[in-house]
Amino acid sequence: MPVVDIKEMLQHAYQNGYAVGAFDLVSLEFLEGIIEAAERCRSPVIVSLAESHFEHYDFELLTTAAEAAAQRSSVPVAIFLDHGAGLDSAVRAINGGCNGVMVDASHHPLPDNIALTRQVVEMAHSCGVPVEGELGYVPGVEGEDAERHPGEISYTTVAEACTYLQQTEVDFLAVSIGTVHGRMNGCPELDIGRLAEINRALRIPLVIHGGTGLSDEQFRQLIENGVAKINYYTALSDAAAQQIRANTGAGPGGYTQLTRGVSDSVRAECERCMRLWRSAGQADAVLQSCTPWRMVEHLIIYNVSGIDEEQARRMAAEGRRILGQIPGVRHVLTGEAVKQDAKYRFCWLIRFVHEKVIDSYRDHPDHVRFADELFRPVAGDRISIDYELVR
């Protein structure tokens, strides 16, 4: 299962002088194109889901598809929440299958950015999930003309970056050094000197947003100065749109005719980036040096006493509702033995996204309340074991 720990993936890139593409997807065609590009280039890859795009697709469905695509691919993949607004978004992403999250509170004043980011870091780290924060402001909107959103760039300063890192403990930092989200006329001017200073001061993988439209030389300089993750979307969206326009020109056709070739056009652009950013050819080294992302099954088999079977079913339903909301819980299944004479009549199968959730789940107030008030008093006869899952 080549979903890998994204912190280790980006450390590898940072130490070996290349950057991993974090490509935003908005459809299955994008997902197929991105993964196919990574396979062809033997490159690690981050499939990224931006909260601003959630109005265009069902987040849980597309993340599940991304997870399935990652599991059957032969290159290391991470699944990432891009531009999450805060704690609720991060919990939803982690429970939905992302193994890395970004919290973007960069439009808030520094103390508020720090407070919000810190909240997300505490929760995510208790689930084993690394966090990207952003400091300084990168204007524009992915997929749109940059001049339609002419916000002022606010540059990241070295002093603020040091304070921010120390107080939030983010794993990666998105910096603002002149890039802009979206489609631009010409290249933006980048403050590479500032980037170099931030890199010398922080020594953690840095992230660039607004990758579309930068020159080959600019990418080279970014990577030379600590950028290990490059966020990229508008160019993929434009390549897909161009393909659809070409298909339209070929005469009347239905959906499948209109979208024919879209995943190939996304793939071609991703491949170009992977070779340019030198992540091409790194897949095997990353697989060897990074921990596979393994979920844990918290298994309980039990019998009840003092309540009847109908009451036991209601208790299980309440548990599915409450426990499924706890950070790091991928799903909660409950079951009843198929054979009446089984030694244990009932079970819980609670999927944790990471081994660390064993502790954070045990201590979470909602779990403690449910277990102490509803479950343990009636389920003294039980066996409980955590299993690490391998595919």
C-alpha–C-alpha distance, residues 69 and 278, integer Å: 23
Smallest gap from residue 341 Cβ to ligand 13P (A): 56
User: Which residue in the set 128, 205, 211, 226 belongs to the binding site for ligand 13P (CB under 6 A)?
Assistant: 211
Q: In the complex with ligand 13P, which residue's Cβ is closer, 25 or 316? A: 25
User: Which residue in the set 96, 182, 205, 319 belongs to the binding site for ligand 13P (CB under 6 A)?
Assistant: 182
- Establish if 21 lies at the interface with ligand 13P (CB under 6 A): no
C-alpha–C-alpha distance, residues 290 and 185, integer Å: 39
Report the amino acid identity of residue 79.
I
CB under 6 A: which stretch of 159-167, 190-198, 210-218, 245-253 binds ligand 13P? 210-218
Q: Find out whether 182 and 140 touch, Cβ atoms under 8 Å.
A: yes
User: Which residue in the set 164, 172, 219, 232 belongs to the binding site for ligand 13P (CB under 6 A)?
Assistant: 232
Catalytic residue among 82, 145, 191, 366: 82
Q: In the complex with ligand 13P, which residue's Cβ is closer, 131 or 357? A: 131
CB under 6 A: which stretch of 13-21, 35-43, 206-214, 321-329 binds ligand 13P? 206-214
Q: In the complex with ligand 13P, which residue's Cβ is closer, 271 or 334? A: 271
CB under 6 A: which stretch of 85-93, 121-129, 205-213, 314-322 binds ligand 13P? 205-213
The distance from CA 78 to its chain's CA centroid, rounded to whole angstroms, is 7
Helix axes 262-276, 28-41, angle to 10 degrees: 40
DSSP code at position 325: T
- Establish if 142 lies at the interface with ligand 13P (CB under 6 A): yes
- Establish if 210 lies at the interface with ligand 13P (CB under 6 A): yes
C-alpha–C-alpha distance, residues 194 and 167, integer Å: 21
Burial classification of residue 288, based on how many CB atoms lie within 10 Å of its CB (0-12 exposed, 13-18 middle, 19 or more buried): exposed
Q: In the complex with ligand 13P, which residue's Cβ is closer, 76 or 182? A: 182
Q: In the complex with ligand 13P, which residue's Cβ is closer, 5 or 142? A: 142
- Establish if 24 lies at the interface with ligand 13P (CB under 6 A): yes
User: Which residue in the set 53, 209, 294, 351 belongs to the binding site for ligand 13P (CB under 6 A)?
Assistant: 209
C-alpha–C-alpha distance, residues 230 and 65, integer Å: 22
- Establish if 44 lies at the interface with ligand 13P (CB under 6 A): no
Supply angle C-alpha 262, 267, 270, rounded to 5.
130
CB under 6 A: which stretch of 232-240, 247-255, 283-291, 377-385 binds ligand 13P? 232-240
3-state secondary structure of 179: coil
Helix H or strand E segment including 232: strand 227-232
Q: Within 10 A of 215 (CB to CB), how many other CB atoms are there?
A: 12
CA distances, 48 to each of 115, 234, 272 (Å): 24, 13, 18
Q: In the complex with ligand 13P, which residue's Cβ is closer, 29 or 82? A: 82
- Size, binding site for ligand 13P by CB under 6 A: 15
Q: Has 82 been annotated as catalytic?
A: yes
Smallest gap from residue 107 Cβ to ligand 13P (A): 14
Q: In the complex with ligand 13P, which residue's Cβ is closer, 223 or 329? A: 223
- Establish if 277 lies at the interface with ligand 13P (CB under 6 A): no
Q: Find out whether 224 and 13 touch, Cβ atoms under 8 Å.
A: no
Tokens representing residue 106 in the block: 């960069």
Which of 76, 69, 74, 18 is CA-nearest to residue 45?
A: 76
| Interface contacts to ligand 13P, rule CB under 6 A | 24, 50, 82-83, 142, 181-182, 209-212, 231-234
Active site (catalytic) residues: 82
